[in-house]
Amino acid sequence: MLIPVGRRHITESHLLSRRRFVADALAASCGALAAPSLMAAPESNRTSTASALISLSAVDAVRMLRNGDMNAESYATALLGRCAAGQSLNAFITLRPELVLEGAHECDRSRRAGAKLGPLHGLPIAIKDSVNTRDLPTTAGTPALRHFQPREDSPLVRALRDAGAIVLGKTNLHELSYGYTSNNHAFGAIHNPYDPTRIPGGSSGGTAVSIAYRMAALGVAEDTEGSIRVPAALCGITGFRPTTGRYPTRGCVPISPLFDQVGPHARTVADLALFDAVVTGDPIAPSVQSLKGVRLGVIRKFWYTGLDPEVERVTETALERLRRAGVELIEGELPELPRLIALITDPVQNHDVKPSITRYLAEYQAGVTFEELLAQASPDVRRIIEPAITATGKDFVSDAQYQEVVNVHLPALRAMYKDYFARSGVAAIVFPATMLPAPTIGEEDMEVVVAGRRMALDDAMSRNIAPGSTAGLPGLVLPAGLSSNGLPVALEFDGSAGADRKILELGLKLESVLGKLPPP
């Protein structure tokens, strides 16, 4: 049976045996990894071995797994041990260790048998719990879908499994992906590993936390208006939202087909590029040899105004490092950007959310209607959605208004960006991903003060991140540094539509200059 633990649900047998299971499996697999004498080694040596495993990048882990330098059960068990150690962060809604180890065992059997190994052979991947999986529920973080079990994987998950990946578990998120805090009132708040009193960002907070805390090397997130990039920024990891439509989004709980896009979280750009290569079939190209002469656009009148002082300090320091590496920062303006974003971003989502979710619930036979789902949703989510779907609501968008947005304003935004990239010759636009570092959990119901100005938290999180996803551009988030109180600050690099591989290739070199953050 299922019994509640906190606000999560695990089977009774899991509750009784999970700690013993993980400990025994870790001990056994560490012996298989290194040497028969390892289990006689001091506890500190075994801890060191597990620490080394969980710190591997996805690229390094897959290389070792494919070469037989470690076995999949060893690696999976080390990650499961880390998941258990970080359980208080509440990164996962569903985690079933026995399924993970069964998958790892099969990967090891296939390698021993000489089978052809996929590019993600034996790699456990964390999946946002809004992406369909055939063997784990897909809750979207909302009560009405708590027990919804899709019959098949989403195309994206199927592609990852076909490449040899193992589903590690389903990660917690802001309910229905409708928020930036991941303070989920149904399944519990997710905690930032750099400071558990603070938010991890949203909506894909659980995936970001799992990567930052070394529970996984690679994860699947989803982004309609910042849900990949905000958590990546606040948790000190890399995140990539591709050009809209680059990866398949069928079988994912939607908000708007115009903006929705799945994408990866990782700790290195090389891991993001590996994910992209697996999903698209595009080969991984080497990084540019030098940043000398690379042009990056800086639009100060939009992205750099009103920033938290610590975000401003870290951003300017990072830009100076890029300058010293040879980057040319090209100052420019996009005067129409604020007006177009106001006309497009929220109206599209407000119009699309009800018909999009209604279609999803029917197509995948979730067993509930949209009205039933919303009635059971947490009050904070209902307060956002109800005014958008009620004809007299303040956020309601009629079909006629929507057609004007889609046929007039959205093409104008895309044309503006296309013209800017052509005129400026920049490889990407660079800007701070969010206006402030991670605020405390619970602050989402209040205004926050940013550089002396009071504003809604959602605005502080979304202002910089919204234009790229609204226009459908590829956006790469890289850690830029830590604030004075140890919180991650990030830069985003938005490229022109379709320039995904160029942005990832550039990101490899940018990452080498910006450096990496210390682990939480």
Mode of pairing for the β-strands spanning 488-494 and 475-482: antiparallel
CB 105 within 8 A of CB 125: no
> Taking the alpha carbons of 225, 227, 233, 239 in that order, is the dihedral positive or negative?
negative
What DSSP element (H or E) covers 488?
Answer: strand 488-494
Look up 509 and say whether it is catalytic: no
CB 421 within 8 A of CB 468: no
Give me the helix-helix angle, 309-324 and 500-514, nearest 10°. Answer: 100
> Taking the alpha carbons of 475, 192, 260, 312 in that order, is the dihedral positive or negative?
negative
74, 177, 204, 227: the active-site residue: 227
Instruction: Name the residue among 146, 286, 166, 176 with its Cα closest to residue 219.
Output: 166
Instruction: Note the maximum CA span of the chain.
Output: 73
Look up 128 and say whether it is catalytic: yes
What DSSP element (H or E) covers 455?
Answer: strand 453-456
Look up 203 and say whether it is catalytic: yes
Check whether the bond before 203 is cis (ω within 30° of 0): yes
Neighbouring CB atoms inside 10 A of 455's CB total 16
29, 74, 128, 204: the active-site residue: 128
Supply 313's token pair.
Answer: 């300090």
203, 356, 469, 496: the active-site residue: 203
Q: How far is CA 165 from CA 66, 98, 241, 297, 410, in A?
A: 12, 16, 20, 37, 37
Sole residue written with tokens 């805390």? 213
User: How far is it, in rounded angstroms, from Cα 378 to Cα 362?
Assistant: 22
User: How far is it, in rounded angstroms, from Cα 266 to Cα 281?
Assistant: 19
3-class state of residue 261 by DSSP? strand
3-class state of residue 307 by DSSP? coil
Give me the phi and psi of 308, to 5 degrees please.
-55, 140
Catalytic residue positions, numbered: 128, 203, 227
